[in-house]
Structure 1
């Protein structure tokens, strides 16, 4: 049986799948050792020193056979656009330039022209190579300029000669994958009105070894205002580029960012191809290796972004992220300091509530806010005393409304809104503590924007590690927090933790929105008493056309689970399961594909790692169906929450159970086709249960712990 990475949806493939994974596992190790047999079997697979990425490349690199099929299939495409590749050249290493040109000539899609502009190169070998390349392929044209005018001007010279409907940007030392233009052509046949197409990318060194894959989200406008994440490969509709006046030379180095910022003000028809189609060259003078080598690039990016913010009628200041060139935080000017209603459901736990209120009133710099406590039946005398003390201390800014009902977070919040006077609603857990004084200001800056629905914050555990940095749909089955457990000092995956980003959902523990938006989407759904109500609210905003944003510069502690505990699913398993069932019925499309997260990344871990192939064969003790492994896996759940190699051994921890909650009698495990072993079953795992409370009683015995030898070599 086969399960693709630790996930709620096992992949079924039987003996053939097992054989495939074992072959790929052997091949990855053999490629690392320089095996001649491995290179003969898969000469098309690039090398990577990253074991997980090497396996991904084996899975996804098209074979020579597949490339031949692409050449045949392109003839049947309804639309076969001509692509004009724009390549400005100035004194690159000759070998890199040759490899760049040859990567174009190796394309499976044949309808292209390569427009090379030699921008005053002083190396005679460059001119000789360009002349030879043009003589060997009529699709390559070369124009030599008498002096070096810069990348933007040289690119504009090439664009002026372009005949294709689409422009493809290619640096003089980078590489296209052989299927790049074919994939773009296929995408345009599916979405012919696209004005911009971009792909995923990685880096390539002087030896042709790949590293640093960047698997991107689909188009996220606010993420793009924090950094130029689309980067390579970028394909632009030529007619729109011409209408925009091509590249602006005053933004040399940041000219592509500037052009795309202007283009996206004209069009939202932007298409992402979630495949690695571009290799960005790493060498001593490239920003791929060290952003500090070209500080003028990021200065130009900064100016282009500031100009775009000013141009869009939402004035603000673009603030560079210290220590991370190319990353920015946009602090919008607050047009009007309207009242913010902070709604805090609470019950007992006076010490937590006191810490929360003290931080709100002592630290908040925003001039106009009120706090509405919704007391959900507190019975402890210290709580009553605390509320009385705070009401007396803040008579104008704090009100307490009692609502004695069975716990229903949605209803408590809705009840608070009914008593709110604010233009903005800020839902806040009572087990939070404010860190940044301008936290309300930062959230209002975003919430005031007409396109924005929900605004979320960076929530930290008491030890400073991340509890919430945005929510990802489909992670862990339904939804989970981005980068949970990671250090807050880390920039996160591709700078995700240090930049403003679009997410489908943000945590209800600290969530702001305009009251008009809240009313428009129908408030919190009270049929979800506790579980995914914040996700549901955010997705209703997405459905209405709003965007949700998460802010790295708004920070709070979240002492998660201390107010009500983490065992709500145990106390109310039926209600919790009903919430989960609703989410699957209502929001299946987002659970299956979160556009703010790459389909190439894991759906089981929260740290944006690549998925890992894990072979699983399980036989429930009381299988309701045919108990043969090939059938049993259809009714089998598994999540691997830790997988690491130490001293030549794999350590694997996670849980496994039948679809109806049955304990397993036996569990066989195979990692990347290497070394099958038996897991140890019946090991209680409270930590896993805390993360996956829907599992039910954590003592049922379906958690497993396993370690096995592996022949995988260390990189």
Structure 2
């Protein structure tokens, strides 16, 4: 504790209403048990009718002068009560806590340590788990680093959410009428008032959220009303930002949301680049889907022939290029995925570029509109799709760096309709990388980063490197589960088991480790408590989390 050069006062804000006595005591005791001493507990009793609440709060107030209590004259519900508690706060930061939950003993210490490392932080949030009626812990949630698109699908900041008090005051505190999602609404407005660099994630469980059938959390007692409030909070969030978007209930779960971004009229031309070598059956299935089953009025398909030999392939080329939307280019050199695509992009006429493997098959007609709607957002650099094997298991739901040495596919092999890790297989989100098997982006971004690396990454990891360079330039990578396609994965090339292919693959692994180093194992959208040895979001052992008491930089 003495090593902390800054010890900000943290105001724990707690609205209380008719909390069962054992749970209220546990909540209060968890604050009293903090190893970090510079806190105050600001409680607003929302006119509780349960006879034990007022005397219990009075007794705790007498026990410790850091506990402040105000009793509201009438019940105003959670937003009004939270504002009453906020009025008691004098700390530089406020931490939001429900009346029947628990903090870990080191919760506020970890917040203070993070503030010592990042004194300009405006918003901090931690990992969490749940506790049942008997206090048994379960369902640990090891979260992503700040993830704007995921935040639009679920409230990833609570719990534990900590905010700079001056920021909360500037945005007007909690808003009545958003009960059940009042903290979500507060978070969205706070995010608008700061920048992503000042939002910090603490990858440690600091909060135990009490969830069971009889728990008193508004969002679980009145879920429909809480969900409606979340939708309204999001709708107003986009309106304030001047972003034309609509908020819908996620088709996978009514607890979360899908954002549809408006498309311009007319739509921009998209050049879809399809490298191929023979395997005309695969190619035809892919191109037929692009031309006949894709609802998009202005696209061109550029087939890049890399040394095909079969007569039926050339016959197909002669037939398909009669469609004015199709061109066939010859690339007469050894296979180099990066070089092939760079060659084709140079001849594309669209302001939007799509990289499409020849073993991709379209499922729903709106896949391209969905991806273009994200790729046109000025903050977005590239967009990836949700891809399935032929047996309807997930092949691609985003790429996580560091897995198995360089990168791996999260949620790989799960059933198509699986929720995945805390519903992430069903929610639009930011990721470090997406596969180039189906990738859409603005031509300007492709040119900005210099295209794919055709010198060092001819076959493997060129899309990972490409996305990392896009992110290095300050752009977001978006993965959407609402663009669904089949991917038969390298069916036209075969496996990389030949000796020359193994040697090439090993050299590409070495290049990636040399180029990106330790950053590969520090994917900001993948928690360091999760494993790098598999693609299943399993637990890491040991975790890759730095303990601040061992970290000189935290002081």
2-side partners of 1:220 and 1:287: how far apart? 29
Tell me which residue corresponds to 1:543: 472
Tell me which residue corresponds to 1:40: none
2-side partners of 1:140 and 1:383: how far apart? 78
**The one of 110, 122, 135 aligned to 1:183:** 110
Matched, 1:481 2:416: no
Tell me which residue corresponds to 2:126: 199
Report the 3-state secondary structure (helix = DSSP H, G, I; strand = E; otherwise coil) of the residue aligned with 2:292.
Answer: helix
Matched, 1:106 2:44: no
1-side partners of 2:355 and 2:478: how far apart? 15
- Please state how far the C-alpha of 1:292 moved relative to its aligned partner: 7.3
Shift in CA distance, 263/453, structure 1 to aligned 2, threshold 3 Å: same
- Please state how far the C-alpha of 1:590 moved relative to its aligned partner: 2.4
Matched, 1:316 2:230: no
**The one of 263, 266, 270 aligned to 2:190:** 263
2-side partners of 1:558 and 1:565: how far apart? 14
> Which runs of structure 2 are paired with 1:603-642 in the superposition (5 Å)?
603-611=532-540
> Which runs of structure 2 are paired with 1:252-651 in the superposition (5 Å)?
252-267=179-194, 268=196, 269-286=198-215, 291=220, 293-322=222-251, 324-336=253-265, 337-392=267-322, 394=323, 396-527=324-455, 528-567=457-496, 570-611=499-540
**TM-score (norm. length: structure 1):** 0.74
Contact 2:124 / 2:200 at 8 angstroms: preserved in 1? yes
Tell me which residue corresponds to 1:625: none
Q: Deviations over 1:159-183 (max 9, x none)?
A: 1221100001000000000000001
* Count of matched residue pairs: 539
Report the 3-state secondary structure (helix = DSSP H, G, I; strand = E; otherwise coil) of the residue aligned with 2:533.
Answer: coil
Tell me which residue corresponds to 1:150: 77
Contact 1:291 / 1:325 at 8 angstroms: preserved in 2? no
- Please state how far the C-alpha of 1:610 moved relative to its aligned partner: 1.2
RMSD over aligned CA atoms reads: 1.6
Tell me which residue corresponds to 2:549: none
2-side partners of 1:171 and 1:189: how far apart? 26
Shift in CA distance, 320/570, structure 1 to aligned 2, threshold 3 Å: farther
Report the 3-state secondary structure (helix = DSSP H, G, I; strand = E; otherwise coil) of the residue aligned with 1:124.
Answer: coil
2-side partners of 1:598 and 1:477: how far apart? 16
2-side partners of 1:169 and 1:385: how far apart? 67
Consecutive unaligned residues in structure 2, runs of 5 or more? 544-555
Q: Deviations over 1:308-339 (max 9, x none)?
A: 12222220111111352331111100124010
- Please state how far the C-alpha of 1:605 moved relative to its aligned partner: 1.3
2-side partners of 1:383 and 1:177: how far apart? 64
2-side partners of 1:135 and 1:576: how far apart? 68
Q: Deviations over 1:56-80 (max 9, x none)?
A: xxxxxxxxxxxxxxxxxx2331111
**TM-score (norm. length: structure 2):** 0.95
Contact 1:283 / 1:289 at 8 angstroms: preserved in 2? no
**The one of 169, 183, 188 aligned to 1:242:** 169
Report the 3-state secondary structure (helix = DSSP H, G, I; strand = E; otherwise coil) of the residue aligned with 2:404.
Answer: helix
Structure number with bigger Rg: 1
2-side partners of 1:590 and 1:319: how far apart? 35
Tell me which residue corresponds to 2:546: none
Contact 2:157 / 2:187 at 8 angstroms: preserved in 1? no
2-side partners of 1:550 and 1:292: how far apart? 32
Contact 2:142 / 2:203 at 8 angstroms: preserved in 1? yes
2-side partners of 1:556 and 1:517: how far apart? 24
Contact 1:130 / 1:142 at 8 angstroms: preserved in 2? yes
Shift in CA distance, 292/346, structure 1 to aligned 2, threshold 3 Å: farther
Consecutive unaligned residues in structure 1, runs of 5 or more? 1-73, 615-715
